[in-house]
Structure 1
Amino acid sequence: MKFTPHTIEETAEMLETIGVSQVSDLFSPIPDELKTEKFDLPVGISESETMKIMKKLAGKNDADMVCFLGGGVYEHFIPAAVDALSSRPEFYTAYTPYQPEASQGTLQVLYEFQTMMCELTGMEASNASMYDGGTALAEAALMALRISKKRSRIVLDGSVNPVQKEIVKTYLSFLEVEVADIEYGSDDSINNYLDGQTAGFIFQNPAFDGTVKDYTEINEKIHADKAVSVVSVYPISLGLIKTPGDMGFDIAVGDGQSLGNPLSFGGPYFGFMTTTMKHIRNLPGRIVGKTVDTKGRDGYVLTLQAREQHIRRQKATSNICSNQSLCAMNGLFYMSLMGEKGLMDAASLCKSKAEYAKSELAKVKGVKVADGETFNEFVVELSAKAEDVCLKLADKGILAGIPMNNYINDAENKLLVAVTELRTKQDIDTLVSEIGGAL
């Protein structure tokens, strides 16, 4: 493509063709009072001068703060090769190539992504990615309703992230569906909904407050009631804790941000969804399959397309077409580079460093660490408002965590702290010291 501007002759020829004498006539419908006749712009500057100005502006950002934020997205180490691979021109596009003529390379990458997500979650089938973790959870609720056709209730357990609960409720708000929301810390139990009317039960593991639980026995009860069990998982944790497949879940979803995608003010990230072969035809989104051509060569194709909106729009399992495949490729490259041992090491570091942080914070006067087995995230109750403490630490270059009062009731002194493999002993010691000084 040429990027040279039109010549005077070319412009005159085009104006003559459309019967206009000058370019300004093209804007004649716009009232004069809305036009800007003169732009007060400085004279042009060189590229090097422009870079200096931009660097000065960028220097105003607080980009190097020590981060203990979590709540669904986390700061993890990303090998440099991840971006080097995903930025290759063969892959670098925000658009999902879902036409039959999509390149074999792109289809193979998505197939390998699906394979690795199945291995990671212990499930049997995966799609080629979702928009993010929250919408993947909402799609899982819709999938549960499709599987349990004559049932019209979805139960949201207290373990689920409150933000993602709202996404699920929004998705279901225009359907004739009852959403039973078990609030965080509530005495309400899923046993109250095992009555043959519930289509799906939705959990999160690790929970929003970081606690880890084995849902095997709960899933047995759910399946005895012929309902669908769904879990939202933090993929890095699966390097250490029991997988959704091992616990007997029907559907596993999550946000793939922690797999090779940097924190970026909410996105773009990607969601993932895995399930059993029994339910694959109810799985939303693209699915890439492996086959052989007429010459016996391996080939990759979009399969089970009758489920999709470009084939059967009104009866489709979802309206997902252009989604987060580039971010999903980051996830594939990250998992490939880390390998099984690397993921286990990252998860172990997250766990051990979080345990160190818990033990040190428990020694601080005015800090109470919540009980329960956790992975890398935990709740502390402070003797002051969590929001005030966070503001004080932010002034010192520390993002101390998430004030839980923003998400649940009666929690103004509770702080959700996340620790990843990137946090050093010095980082944690500084956090402990500064929280003690802020109380």
Structure 2
Amino acid sequence: MKILLVQTPSVESKTSERVYPIGIVTLGTHLIRAGHQVVLLDMNLEADAYGALKDKLLTEQPDAVGLSLRNIDPLANKTSSLIPPFAITTRLVHVVLPNASIVAGGTGFSLFPRRIMEELPEIRYGIKGEAEYSFPKLLKDFEQPGELAGLCYRKNGQVMINPAVLDFTFEDYLVPDRDLLPPDLYRDINDYVPAFGLETKRGCPLNCAYCVYPGLQGKIMRCRKPAEVVDEMEMLQARYGLRDFHFNDPVVNLPVGHLEEICEEILRRKLQVTWTGFFRENVLDLEKVKLYEKSGCSCFSFSPDGFCQASLEVLRKNLKVSDIIKAAELTAQTGVIVIYHFMTNVPGENTGTIEQAKSLIDQLYEIHTPKRNLGAIVLNNIRIMPGTPIEAIARSDGEIDADTDLLYPVYYNPKKHETLRYALETYHMTKNVFMWQKVEV
């Protein structure tokens, strides 16, 4: 079969930071191995996204179209949604090529498969969760696919969803064929975020109260062999000239030892690369931090989320404030930029926790100012996701009810402190500007 895989709009605007769609490139590589002809389109690159899609459909005439919904909304406190452009994309495919079967998937789709398929009858099948095994099997017997893991289909007018099985093993990993979507299209496309991601593992054992990663990838970490990760980095540098990477893992330095082996391999091969990832605070030590810096770490991103112990506990972070301080003290000894992400107006917020938040901000700036390597403190309200503990808390608190539609952006932000984020942004940004401008108060 001829398959067109489409990365549907996954950023709010053309000025947003965009990333290479490793998901559809990986899936396309598996489909080619299964004997299919594959064509890719990333609508996020196009000045006229829908026009480009229409042209690709008419030119290629695919038998099936795979639509990847990576994000349901931009997060970052925004109220815009990526569901409308996904719906438009789906309907455009159906109108332009009514005989082409539409298969939906991606992280965003996997969060709301039933709801999306009920609203978009043009979708013939969906795949919830990992698709490397299920999609090739679906195409092998398209009319009678059987009980495939994660398959979403229609029966007697109802959407049926087979349980997703998180059974992909990196023994079956195929290095994505980047020629399917030339990396040059993404070179220098962003100002801040590396456009090229690498997968070193799947799964997250943590229990953060707002997070969907364990549900999407499982709680057991499935790791690639460190040497194979570096093989891919070395190939991408040699073939495409790439040297800046983001490790896509939920947490890059868990399990302890895995990232360290990758770093040692980078140094052994004398690769000149830079890389970033999200780090867990309480497993750092100075030896590890120096190893990360030496091997090319260009940004330590932390997501402690809670400003005080009470917030850390309600968010189920299994961290102490002292862990955050220690991570700051360790990374402040490097020349690497450090970014912290925190949640504001969390359940139980009060004047006491707000003062503790300001105190922690003060401490972080005091620690980082000598090296001036605190890039930013990013503040967000909590996006309420279905099936998370925060959803249960929000219902119990009366912040949402049975009629609340979580498909579209809904944040936990009780009225009493609903403007807290702005106050804390002003507080920390003043310190940030003064730090970089070397202005003393």
Bigger relative CO (Cα 8 Å, ≥ 6 apart): 1
- Which structure's CA Rg is the greater one? 1
